Amino acid sequence: MPILEILDYAGVAVFAVTGALSASRKQLDIIGYVFLASVTGIGGGTLRDVILGATPVFWVTNPIYLLVCTAAGIAVFLSAHLMHSRYRLLVWLDAVGLSAYCVMGAAKGLEATGSPAVAMVTGMLTATFGGVLRDLLAGEPSVLLRPEIYVTAALVGSGMFTGATALGAPLIVASAIGILAAFLVRGGALRYGWTLPTGRAGPGRHPDDVM
């Protein structure tokens, strides 16, 4: 199986598990698990395909992805009570999914347009959009707004992949470099609380106090 296809299945599967873990945190029923697993698992790739005009999107032309999401939802439904901390597992799996998907999104963007700038953005957007959607639908505080490095990791991964490809690295090497770079950055942020400096301005006031 080609490397990009493996990455795609891996990204879908782990994001699907994070969606199901969110469903568990919200005490939904089994269909709720499968629904959030599916939306999270296929959300990023769907956005990528729609932006690039690669429609019908990937899971319409290959419904195996839907089976993967369904299986992930059911597996979490049956086992979530065994987990000590679902949120911690959620963010670590989200880190794995983000690492796989930033390379996958960059590769598809590069293939479709040849532009490294577009590749970095499609990589970043598709790696983060599944999680954004999951948090919005589940009513969780968005992982985007947490202080630890998040979007940066996706950008580093898609940037390293795009750079390595531009330097002539074979697909499998460039992919490995991109995935590892993204995971090291995001994993370090989770483990050691890595942050980048915020701007020098303080927090915003409530809109009603300003208008």
> For residues 135-174, which are near a copy of itself according to CB under 8 A?
136-142, 144-146, 148-149, 151-152, 155
Which stretch in 17-25, 99-107, 162-170, 174-182 sits in contact with a copy of itself by CB under 8 A? 17-25
Q: Report the residue number, 2 or 84, with the smaller CB distance to a copy of itself.
A: 84
Rounded least distance, CB 172 to a copy of itself, Å: 26
Query: What value, to the nearest 5°, has the Cα angle with vertex 89 and ends 30 and 128?
Result: 85
What number of chain residues touch a copy of itself (CB under 8 A)? Answer: 79
Which stretch in 11-19, 23-31, 98-106, 160-168 sits in contact with a copy of itself by CB under 8 A? 23-31
Q: Is 111 among the residues that bind a copy of itself (CB under 8 A)?
A: no
Task: Determine the 3-state secondary structure of 101 from DSSP.
Answer: helix
Q: Report the residue number, 128 or 175, with the smaller CB distance to a copy of itself.
A: 128
40 contacts 16 by C-beta, under 8 angstroms: yes
Among 1, 167, 192, 202, binds a copy of itself (CB under 8 A): 202
Task: Determine the 3-state secondary structure of 20 from DSSP.
Answer: helix
Q: Which of residues 28-57 bind a copy of itself (CB under 8 A)?
A: 28-33, 35, 38, 46, 50-53, 55-57
Q: Report the residue number, 66 or 173, with the smaller CB distance to a copy of itself.
A: 66
Among 83, 176, 180, 184, binds a copy of itself (CB under 8 A): 83
Q: Report the residue number, 84 or 170, with the smaller CB distance to a copy of itself.
A: 84
Q: Is 191 among the residues that bind a copy of itself (CB under 8 A)?
A: no
Q: Is 126 among the residues that bind a copy of itself (CB under 8 A)?
A: no
**Tokens representing 203?**
């927090």
41 contacts 12 by C-beta, under 8 angstroms: yes
What whole-number distance in Å separates Cα of residue 189 and Cα of residue 199? 19
Q: Report the residue number, 38 or 99, with the smaller CB distance to a copy of itself.
A: 38
Cα within 13 Å of Cα(192), Cβ side: 8
What whole-number distance in Å separates Cα of residue 127 and Cα of residue 122? 8
| Residue 166 to residues 99, 113, 171, Cα–Cα distance (Å) | 19, 14, 11
Q: How far is CA 210 from the centre of its chain?
A: 35
Q: Is 6 among the residues that bind a copy of itself (CB under 8 A)?
A: no
Q: Enumerate residues 6+ apart whose C-beta is below 8 A from 147.
A: 193, 195, 198
